[in-house]
Structures are given as structure tokens and as C-alpha cells.
Amino acid sequence: MEILDLYTADREKTGKTMVRGEETPAGCYRLVVHVCIFNDKGQLLIQQRQPFKEGWPNKWDISVGGSAIAGDTSRMAAERETREELGLELDLSNVRPIITVHWENGFDDYYVLTQNVDLDSLQLQPEEVQAVRWADMEEIMKLIDDDDFVPYEKSLIGLLFHFRVHRSSHTINETIKR
């Protein structure tokens, strides 16, 4: 049983918690993190969810994702989830989320980093992950079209690939003005 901290709309901890899987109380929010690991070729490390997972069984997903548990900061949750799901130790002490997506019940922080990972060295969490591989943006878009990928908005996937190269808000603002 995982216990999750609850937050205000301004992302301040309320001092209240909830059990994962329960309905998020009205007026409260929870924190989710994703880590997008790219290689030098511009490919994203993707994982395939186990067939017995409740949400999106057998679907491919971005590198890492999960809920922050009680006491976690966003960064701590991202490091922990990466260690749990892939057996990969990351030090994100100098990395901030590149984007935060606000959704109905919470905040979803996306970390984007480049690291050439030897897939054979990963220790996949058997309860969560059945396979990993590298994929470029076109492959992921096709997986989404074929309903073989967690149903992210294609524009979000495109933005994550964009941020792999252009990490500052100045760059994205200049891109938007064009």
C-alpha cells in the first residue's frame, strides 16, 4: 500500500495523505513524475508495461513514470522510480523538470535527460516492466496510432523530443513566436 501526499492547487503540501488507488479528494492534488531518457542518437528509452498491470497492460510507455509517495520531492520520486523500474541509478540533483503538466487530479513533472544506457545492464522491475528498447519519435507516433502506446497526446511527445535539444524556456518561446 502506497501513501501519497496531497497538495493544494498551488502545489503546497496540505499535510493530508491518501492511499494510492483511492479517489483523490476534491480540492486536493497529487504528484506524478516521468523521466524521459534519450540517447545521443535522439532516441527515447521506452518500456513495455507488464500484461497484468491494471493500467494500459502490454502498452509501451516513456522511460519511467510513477507517483511520488509521502515524503518524496519530485526529484526524489523521479530517482526512486527510475531505480525501481529500470535498476538505473540517477543523480538528478542538478536537474529540474522541463515541464509540468497540470491534470484534473494533480501535477505531472517531466524530466528530460540524455544518457546512453546499455539496455542489457538494466534490471527491469518484474511487477511493472516486461521489456525496454530505444525508439525515435516517428516510431512512438506509430505506436500511438496503432494503440500500442500509453495514450499520450502526440503534441506532448513532440514537445519532449524538442526539449531533448532545446532545454530552456527562452528557446521554446522563440520557437512559439516563429
Question: What is the CA angle 157-95-153, rounded to 5?
Answer: 15
Helix %, strand %, coil % for the chain, to 5? 25, 30, 40
pLDDT digits (tens, 9 = 90+) for 95-149: 999 999 999 999 999 999 999 999 999 999 999 999 999 999 999 999 999 999 9
Per-residue model confidence (pLDDT) at position 126: 97
Region 70-87: what's the mean pLDDT? 98
CB 51 within 8 A of CB 130: yes
- Position 171 scores a pLDDT of 39
CA distance linking residue 45 with residue 136, whole number of Å = 9
In which band, very low, low, confident or very high, does the pLDDT at 166 lie, cut at 50, 70 and 90? confident
The topology (CATH level 3) of 31-64+74-98+107-167 is Nucleoside Triphosphate Pyrophosphohydrolase (3.90.79)
Is residue 35 within a helix (H) or strand (E), and if so which, with residue range? strand 30-38
pLDDT in tens, 1-14: 899 999 999 999 99
d(CA 24, CA 45): 30
Give mean pLDDT, residues 74-88.
Answer: 98
| DSSP letter, residue 22 | S
pLDDT of res. 168: 54
Q: How far apart are CA 59 and CA 151, in angstroms?
A: 9
Domain locations along the chain: 31-64+74-98+107-167
- The string of pLDDT tens digits covering residues 45-67 is 999 999 999 899 999 999 999 99
What pLDDT is recorded for position 155? 97
Instruction: Please name the amino acid found at residue 150.
Output: V
The helix or strand, by DSSP H or E, that contains position 154, with its residue range, turns out to be helix 154-165
